[in-house]
Amino acid sequence: MVDTVVVTGALGGAGSWIVEDLRDDYEVVAVDMTLPESIDVDGVSFQAVDLTEQGPIWETVLDAEPTAVVHFGNIPHEENHAGGDVYENNALSTFHTLEAAGRATADVIWASSETVYGTHWPEPELPNSLPVTEKQPPAPWNGYETSKLAGEAAAERVTNAFDVSVASIRPSWVQYPGRYETTPLRKQFDFESAGRFGNFWSYIDVRDLVSLVRAALESDFDGHEVFNGFAADNFLGVDTTDAIEAGYGELPDECGISGDASAFSNEKAETMLGWKPRHSWKAGEEESVEGPTFV
């Protein structure tokens, strides 16, 4: 019997790539606010659900009897939304989805965010040490980031109450092959005018985020664990410490970054999940890769 996985945010950027990746090996229940133009996709059952409504998401998850729930169904930023609306939507949707998963005894992989480290502050500060690990204290600035910390608290609650595991992934700025939004920033960068860039010019290719989700899905661990998800390099093509020192005027006393390596550590995901990022902007900017066929 093929295992079932519920994926929320299934028509979104990363969510649709996750559905596309999983549907060959799992029965996927793809959940979003609306249905795609065509629902005739092998291995996928689409459901239109408002995740902020407890009843519909509980019914959807419990009826599916999944082995896992992959939750990517949040508002991804505050650019076109009031911060309070973003917080309310994300905190409620994550709580209801994780609670439903717990009651269905389904493990959870969900998208928290790198922004919990304080990357959106008007004047971002240097951490105590580099590279940044999951032990770095969170420092949320806006409603979006605070909603992600609320989701991580919900993850703790679910693992305390039910016999399930939860992986809270803190991915970097997600980029898509052939249309990297980091490209103009790289081309404009120079050391003389460099300012403070909150996530230290970090990113992750969507294909690596998908493989991180799969690694968490297919790994065996207990309780709630938080994992960074970053490309191995910065998107500038220069030494990371040189860029940080140019933008911030200094480096933390403890700094263990060499070359163009990311300022964020993936060591925990590598150790516990056997995952490493494999894609770089150096090829990804120009690659032509067919994405999900249903969006």
pLDDT digits (tens, 9 = 90+) for 10-42: 999 999 999 999 999 999 999 999 999 999 999
Cβ distance 12 to 51 under 8 Å?
Answer: no
| Arithmetic mean of pLDDT, 205-217 | 98
| Arithmetic mean of pLDDT, 265-272 | 98
143-161 helix and 83-103 helix, angle to the nearest 10 degrees: 10
pTM greater than 0.95 (yes/no): yes
pLDDT reported for residue 80: 82
Query: E strands of 198-278, at which residues?
Result: 204-205, 224-229, 254-255
Q: Which two tokens stand for residue 71?
A: 């939750």
In eight-state DSSP terms, residue 116 is G
Q: Which two tokens stand for residue 50?
A: 């408002």
pLDDT reported for residue 215: 98
Please give the Cα distance from 256 to 194 (Å, whole number). Answer: 21
pLDDT reported for residue 96: 98
Among candidate residues 157, 166, 60, 57, the one with its CA nearest the CA of residue 106: 166
Domain ranges for the chain = 4-176+203-233+264-279
Among candidate residues 35, 33, 38, the one with its CA nearest the CA of residue 49: 33
| Arithmetic mean of pLDDT, 157-172 | 97
pLDDT reported for residue 1: 64
Tell me the pLDDT band of 75, cut-offs 50, 70 and 90.
confident
On average, the pLDDT of the chain sits at 96
pLDDT reported for residue 206: 98
pLDDT reported for residue 77: 84
CATH superfamily of 4-176+203-233+264-279: NAD(P)-binding Rossmann-like Domain (3.40.50.720)
